[in-house]
Amino acid sequence: MNSIEKLIAAEKKNNSILCVGLDIVAEKMPDKLERSIEGMLEFNKAIIESTSDLVSSYKINFAFYEQYGKRGYELLENTIAMIPSDIHIIADAKRGDIGNTSAAYAKAVFEELKCDSITVSPYMGKDSVSPFLDYSDKMVFLLCLTSNSGSNDFEKEKIGDKYLYEVVLEKSMNWGGTDNLGYVVGATHPEELKNIRDLANDRYFLIPGIGAQGGSPDEVMDANGSGPSIINSSRGIIYAGGNEDKYADFIRLAALELRNQLNEARI
Amino acid sequence: MNSIEKLIAAEKKNNSILCVGLDIVAEKMPDKLERSIEGMLEFNKAIIESTSDLVSSYKINFAFYEQYGKRGYELLENTIAMIPSDIHIIADAKRGDIGNTSAAYAKAVFEELKCDSITVSPYMGKDSVSPFLDYSDKMVFLLCLTSNSGSNDFEKEKIGDKYLYEVVLEKSMNWGGTDNLGYVVGATHPEELKNIRDLANDRYFLIPGIGAQGGSPDEVMDANGSGPSIINSSRGIIYAGGNEDKYADFIRLAALELRNQLNEARI
């Protein structure tokens, strides 16, 4: 089963298009957990155990692991090992470099870490993306329109009558197929999401920005229509337990509610 | 001494604007070296020992280390530890993400790994770059016009009468000062380099693409004029010894020749 088949199977099995982002920060964990690599692994374990029947995928933002150095790398490996094998794993690493370098990044993420997909920055063009697509059983999510305020700086610059993010989309679509090339489109831009969905109705969109970043589930689902998608929430779910003793119950409840809300809003 | 002062001091001490890229691939090392993490560390040690009085900086491309997983991370740490403390270390990691994520990447590279500077992708805009610039004693090299063929895909798209890479340059210049924000400009575009230099005559440029990628030292130096710069060569130097027993002598010779060639061509 390749990575997109795995994603679709998990969606069906769990009746969910929800992705939980494992973006842990030691200082934000419930007080009862130790501020250590072991404590963070325990936190990830609790998140995964309480949500793995409610999601299609987990998104692992590499920065949050890399900041802890070598021990962070171990935490990354051990976290990936805890994710059930039928759930899609997204390496949110935003890599991209000249060809031989991107090939090495692809090897790191797909072979060493056994992730199913990776987020890639388009700035350097086709030969910086292709080495990831050469792993045709894996998936690439190319940055299109991101959820942050800085998306106004370059992504929304006009090239003729098109925005840069539209040019990225249109130019890159034939670099990969519907089964291995999708796009990152932020939940904070529902109008643009609708437009991008019209331009690429059969592509998987990884949609971050729900919750802490301000994206509304209903608006997003309305704009996305029936297009294939992965809706990510990180902080809104993993910190839902605050300092409660039974924090995992609150995490599960937050994931369950968002999954259901997304399903109800799906067209 | 902050990172730019360290860079300028190393330039003066070694009379060099040369940067050697430690982009090692096990299969390309001299046959006498073991194809292992230990062998790669031995190779890096030989490169550093035979060139550290000839360079202003070393550039470490993270992909080549990440592809070996946890042991690759150890190799990265151990390689950094071998570089003399008066030589500037560039983390060629091409990171960039939403604010809190870029902050974690900055912590990884500047605090955990103690690098002096990092390459950052501009696609996601100001708030994806600022967390790196917040380390005001370090340096950022923002991708402007890269050395690969894919630079034609988006970097050279026209926004009004300007190329995207020009818009990136102009819009970002006030995000940081001359002491902490420079640009990556590929050696494979001497005409554009001249133009970019005119737009930003006091900024440090990290210029890769000499040698294996086709950039000519003379053309580059002619285009760059007297602008502050770091000229990187990776494959052309580190594999200069082929399978020779005394491969380190050939590496030193290649670095010495390129350093001198750059100095002679400097305006």
B114 is catalytic: no
Give pLDDT tens digits for B184-210.
999 999 999 999 999 999 999 999 999
Give pLDDT tens digits for B70-115.
999 999 999 999 999 999 999 999 999 999 999 999 999 999 999 9
- Considering only the beta carbons, identify the residue of A101, A112, A167 that sits closest to B69: A112
Q: Evaluate whether B117 touches B139 at the Cβ level (below 8 Å).
A: yes
DSSP 8-state assignment for residue B34 = -
Residues of A labelled as active-site residues = 94
Q: Evaluate whether B94 touches B117 at the Cβ level (below 8 Å).
A: no
Partnered with residue B158 across adjacent β-strands are B163
A218 in contact with chain B, both atoms CB, cutoff 8 A: no
Partnered with residue A183 across adjacent β-strands are A142, A205
CB contact (8 A) between residue B125 and residue A70 = no
> How would you class B193 by CB atoms within 10 Å of its CB: exposed for 0-12, middle for 13-18, buried for 19 or more?
buried
Looking at residue B17, what is its pLDDT? 98
Check pLDDT > 90 for residue B212. Answer: no
Looking at residue A267, what is its pLDDT? 66
Which residue, among B24, B64, B97, B175, would best test binding to A if mutated, counting the most A CBs under 10 Å from its CB? Answer: B97
Looking at residue A211, what is its pLDDT? 82
Q: What is the DSSP string of B57-106?
A: EEEEETHHHHTTHHHHHHHHHHHHHHS-TTSEEEEEEEE--SHHHHHHHH
Partnered with residue A120 across adjacent β-strands are A95, A142
Distance from C-alpha of A150 to C-alpha of B102, rounded to nearest angstrom: 12
Contacting residues of B for A124, CB less than 8 Å apart: 121, 143, 146, 148, 150-151, 155
Distance from C-alpha of B92 to C-alpha of B2, rounded to nearest angstrom: 19
- Considering only the beta carbons, identify the residue of B64, B77, B150 that sits closest to A124: B150
List, for chain A, all residue ranges whose pLDDT scores fall below the cut of 70.
267
Q: Region B213-227: what's the mean pLDDT?
A: 93
Domain residue spans of chain A: 3-265
- For B:133-152, CB contacts with A below 8 A are 143, 146-152
pLDDT > 90: percent of chain B: 97
CB contact (8 A) between residue A97 and residue B94 = yes
Contacts of A14 (CB under 8 A, 6+ apart): A53, A54, A55, A56, A259
Check pLDDT > 70 for residue B267. Answer: no
pTM above threshold 0.90: yes
The shortest C-alpha distance from B121 to chain A (Å) reads 7
A5 in contact with chain B, both atoms CB, cutoff 8 A: no
The CA-CA-CA angle for residues A110, A111, A112, to 5°, reads 105
Q: Residues A173-177: contacts with CB within 8 Å, 24+ apart?
A: A173/A200, A173/A203, A175/A126, A175/A129, A175/A130, A175/A133, A176/A133, A176/A140
The mean pLDDT of chain B is 97
Helix B126-133 to helix B99-106 angle (10° resolution) is 30
What CATH fold (topology level) applies to the domain B3-265? TIM Barrel (3.20.20)
R_g (Cα) of chain B, nearest Å: 18
Looking at residue A86, what is its pLDDT? 98
The shortest C-alpha distance from A17 to chain B (Å) reads 23
Looking at residue B236, what is its pLDDT? 94
